[in-house]
């Protein structure tokens, strides 16, 4: 099935500080549950969302290396917190601070993933945007996407090493406590 290409509008959507976007997927990232807030913000109906790959909302400005880090972390059985810009059905976008965790069966096998996403601090996004733009530029400048992603991962690793933090620690360092 070919997906319709969505052109970003540059308009940002947001949602309430008291709202949480929730989704669940199978181990391959196919959406099995989407809450009302997710449907409302993304602009998709439940029928369009269920059974679709989670990357249906992937914004073209998101560096591949961040998703690679995310998938490597959760598929190895760990949770991750990550800043993500998502693409709405109409091309608008919205930022989230995502908490993604694997779901296990009684045998300890990963049977899916659960993501809860909330509105991030504006200051955090102001810090993340230039970093993601740098990573995306590295990816787009490479001769092929795989090489670009590897080079961007190396840059991200160096940024985190220089700060002495893991990605999770970096993400939390940007969260303001109220």
pLDDT in tens, 143-175: 999 999 999 999 999 999 999 998 888 888 888
What average pLDDT does the segment 12-21 reach?
96
Largest CA distance in the chain: 45
Q: Per-residue pLDDT for 178 more than 50?
A: no
Q: Comparing C-alpha atoms, which of 156, 157, 168 is closest to residue 79?
A: 168
CB 46 within 8 A of CB 39: yes
Phi, psi of 82 (to 5 degrees): -150, 145
pTM across the whole model:
0.92
């Amino acid at each position: 099935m070919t997906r319709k290409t969505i052109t970003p509008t540059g308009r940002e959507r947001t949602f309430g500080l008291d709202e949480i976007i929730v989704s669940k997927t199978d181990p391959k990232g196919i959406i099995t549950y989407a809450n009302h807030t997710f449907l409302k913000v993304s602009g998709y109906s439940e029928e369009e969302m269920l059974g679709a790959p989670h990357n249906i909302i992937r914004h073209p400005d998101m560096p591949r290396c961040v998703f690679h880090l995310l998938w490597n972390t959760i598929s190895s059985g760990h949770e991750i917190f990550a800043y993500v810009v998502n693409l709405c059905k109409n091309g608008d976008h919205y930022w989230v601070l995502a908490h993604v965790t694997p779901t296990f069966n009684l045998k300890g096998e990963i049977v899916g993933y659960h993501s809860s996403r909330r509105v991030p601090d504006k200051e955090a996004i102001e810090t993340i945007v230039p970093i993601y733009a740098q990573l995306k530029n590295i990816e787009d400048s490479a001769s092929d996407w795989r090489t670009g992603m590897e080079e961007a991962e190396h840059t991200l690793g160096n940024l985190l090493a220089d700060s002495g933090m893991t990605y999770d620690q970096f993400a939390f360092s940007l969260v303001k406590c109220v």
